[in-house]
Amino acid sequence: VKALCLRDGALAVRDIAVPEPGPDEALIRVSMAGICNTDLEIAKGYMGFSGVLGHELCGVVEACSDRRYVGRRVAGEINLACTHCALCRRGLGRHCATRSVMGIVAKDGCFAEYVTLPVRNLHVLPNSLPDELACFVEPTAAAFEVLDQITPMPRDRALVLGDGKLGMLVAQVLLTTGCQVTLAGKHERKLELARALGLTTATQAELEPKSFDIVVDATGSPTGLQQAIGLTRPRGTLVLKSTYHGRLSLDAAPIVIDEITLIGSRCGPFAIAVAALEAGSIDPRPLIDAVLPLHEGVAGFERSAEPGGLKVLLDMRELAAK
C-alpha cells in the first residue's frame, strides 16, 4: 500500500506493507488526513523523525479486537501512552515519558492507506461530521487545550499572533468564551477569511505593545515568541503554541520584569473538539486550501508551505474504492 514517507530527510510516496495492529490496536483505513505545520517542520528535521508522516486523520476501523469499533468512522489521538507510568496514572498520558507519537515519534503516521492506533486512542465520529471536517478534530483539540490551561474572562483582551491554520482555530476557540479576540497576521487573504468567521483582525503594526491580557503565539516562527512577549501586558498570560525546528534567540528579561506567565500548549481534548465541530461553533471550512490525492502528497507539502497557505488535506478514499 502507498504511504508518504520521510526517509533520510527525503519526502516521497512509497510502497509499504499494511501495518500490523498490536493486541490492543485497531487497523484503520484512512479516509482523509490533514497536513499540519508540525509536519512541515518534521520534514525539515524537527524531532529527527523517520517514517510515515501525518497525525490528523479520519478513517474507518477495518480490524479491531473490540468488535464494536469495526466499521466505525473514527478520529485518533496521537500520543501512544504506556498507561502505567507515574504520569499515565496521573491522567497525563499525553505526557507519558515512553510514549510514541503518531507520525512524530517512533510511530508511523496517517499519510497512508492504513494506520494502526490503540483502541483507547479512538474517538467515534458522528455521522453528521463529514470527513473534511473530521480531519480537523486533532488541531481543534489542540486549540481547545488553551481553555484547559487558562480561563479567559469576558473583559479580557486576547490576541492570537499568527493567521495560520492553528491560529485561526485558536482564535475561534477563544471567541467561544466571550472574551475580546483579535487575530493578527501578515496575510490579507487569511485575515479576510478570519473576518468572515467573525473575528476581529489586525496587522502586527497595528498592535499596541504590552496591551493584551492573553496572547497566543501561533506564528510557528522562532521570532514569534519575542513579539508575543512584547504584546503581553505586565502579569499577563502568553500561550506558546508554536513548534519549529531550531533554536531561537531571546531576550528573556521582559518575561521577568513584566512577570509574564508563559504556558506551553500542545495536544488537547478530542471529545470537546468533536462536539464543537459538530455544533459548528468552530468552523474550519474556510481553512481548506486544497484536497489532493495521496500520490500528490509531496506537492501538498509544497502547497502547504507556501506563504499564505492554509490547510491541505490528503484524500485516500479513491484508493479504498479501487
In 3D space, the residue among 93, 2, 100 whose CA is nearest the CA of residue 47 turns out to be: 100
Site mask for a second copy (CB under 8 A), range 198-227, x = bound: ------------x-----------x--x--
Q: How far is the CB of 257 from a second copy (least distance, A)?
A: 6
In 3D space, the residue among 70, 69, 74 whose CA is nearest the CA of residue 58 turns out to be: 74
By CB under 8 A, which span of 178-186, 264-272, 283-291, 310-318 interacts with a second copy?
264-272
Q: How many residues bind a second copy (CB under 8 A)?
A: 39
DSSP character at residue 286: G
Given 262, 288, 298, 320, the residue binding a second copy (CB under 8 A): 262
Cα 153 from Cα 34, distance rounded (Å): 32
Cα 186 from Cα 287, distance rounded (Å): 16
> Is 263 a residue that touches a second copy (CB under 8 A)?
yes
The residue assigned the cell 488537547 is 268
Cα 131 from Cα 201, distance rounded (Å): 29
For 38, the enclosing helix (H) or strand (E) is helix 37-44
Given 6, 216, 260, 312, the residue binding a second copy (CB under 8 A): 260
> Is 100 a residue that touches a second copy (CB under 8 A)?
no
Cα 95 from Cα 266, distance rounded (Å): 10
> Is 1 a residue that touches a second copy (CB under 8 A)?
no
CA Rg, the chain, in Å? 19
Would you say 97 or 279 has its CB closer to a second copy? 97
Would you say 17 or 256 has its CB closer to a second copy? 256
Q: How far apart are the first and last CA of the chain?
A: 12
> Is 255 a residue that touches a second copy (CB under 8 A)?
yes
> Is 195 a residue that touches a second copy (CB under 8 A)?
no
Would you say 257 or 321 has its CB closer to a second copy? 257
Residue 35 sits at φ, ψ, to 5 deg, of -90, 125
> Is 155 a residue that touches a second copy (CB under 8 A)?
no
Q: How far is the CB of 251 from a second copy (least distance, A)?
A: 5
Cα 205 from Cα 207, distance rounded (Å): 6
Residue 165 sits at φ, ψ, to 5 deg, of -55, -50
> Is 157 a residue that touches a second copy (CB under 8 A)?
no
By CB under 8 A, which span of 109-117, 173-181, 261-269, 294-302 interacts with a second copy?
261-269
Query: Can you give the binding site for a second copy, defined by CB under 8 A?
Result: 46, 87, 92, 95, 97, 145, 149, 210, 222, 225, 233-235, 240-244, 246-266
